[in-house]
Structure 1
Amino acid sequence: MVWAPRWPVILRDDSLRAPGGTLLLRRLRRADRDAWMDLRADNQDWLERWEATTPAPTGLDRQGRHRGWPGRTQPTRPPSFTGYVRALDKAARDGSTLPFAVELDGELVGQLTVSSITYGSLCSASIGYWVGQHVAGRGVIPTAVAMAADHCFFELGLHRVEINIRPENAPSLRVVEKLGLRDEGLREAYLHIQGRWCDHRTFALTAPEVPDGLLARWRSTQGA
Structure 2
Amino acid sequence: MAHGWPAVLVDDLVRLRPLRRRDGPAWLELRAQNQSWLEPWDATSPVPVDGPRPTFAQFVRTLSAQARSGTSLPFAVDYAGELVGQVTVSSITYGSLRSGAIGYWLSEHVAGRGVMPVAVALAVDHCFTTVGLHRIEVNIRPENRPSLRVVEKLGLRDEGVRERFLHIGDRWCDHRSFALTAEEVPDGLLARYRATRPAP
Asked if 1:209 corresponds to 2:184, the answer is yes
Report the equivalent of 1:84: 59
SS at match of 1:4: coil
Residues 209 and 6 of structure 1, relative CA distance in 2, 3 Å threshold: closer
Note the 1:60-79 alignment, pairs <5 A: 74-79=49-54
Contact 2:166–2:172 under 8 Å retained in 1: yes
Contact 2:4–2:130 under 8 Å retained in 1: no
Report the equivalent of 2:11: 13
SS at match of 1:137: coil
Contact 2:9–2:122 under 8 Å retained in 1: yes
What amino acid is aligned across from residue 86 of structure 2 in structure 1?
Q
What amino acid is aligned across from residue 204 of structure 1 in structure 2?
A
Note the 1:43-192 alignment, pairs <5 A: 43-56=34-47, 74-192=49-167
Q: CA–CA distance in 1 between the matches of 2:96 and 2:6?
A: 26
Report the equivalent of 1:195: 170
Alpha-carbon shift at residue 6 of structure 1 (Å): 3.6
Contact 2:89–2:102 under 8 Å retained in 1: yes
Aligned residues: 199
Alpha-carbon shift at residue 75 of structure 1 (Å): 4.3
What amino acid is aligned across from residue 196 of structure 2 in structure 1?
T
Structure number with higher helix proportion: 2
- Unmatched runs of 5 consecutive residues or more in structure 1: 15-21, 58-73
- Unmatched runs of 5 consecutive residues or more in structure 2: none
Residues 75 and 92 of structure 1, relative CA distance in 2, 3 Å threshold: farther
SS at match of 1:212: coil
CA RMSD of aligned residues (A): 1.3
SS at match of 1:52: coil
Q: CA–CA distance in 2 between the matches of 1:161 and 1:212?
A: 16
Alpha-carbon shift at residue 124 of structure 1 (Å): 0.5
The percentage of aligned residue pairs carrying the same residue is 65
What amino acid is aligned across from residue 5 of structure 1 in structure 2?
H
Q: Deviation per CA, 1:130-165, whole angstroms, max 9, x where unpaired? A: 000001011000000100000010111111100000
Alpha-carbon shift at residue 221 of structure 1 (Å): 1.6
SS at match of 1:175: helix
SS at match of 2:104: strand
Q: CA–CA distance in 2 between the matches of 1:91 and 1:75?
A: 23
Note the 1:16-27 alignment, pairs <5 A: 22-27=13-18
TM normalised by structure 1 equals 0.86
Q: CA–CA distance in 1 between the matches of 2:50 and 2:102?
A: 26
TM normalised by structure 2 equals 0.96
SS at match of 1:121: coil
Asked if 1:39 corresponds to 2:30, the answer is yes
Contact 2:106–2:116 under 8 Å retained in 1: yes
Alpha-carbon shift at residue 194 of structure 1 (Å): 1.2
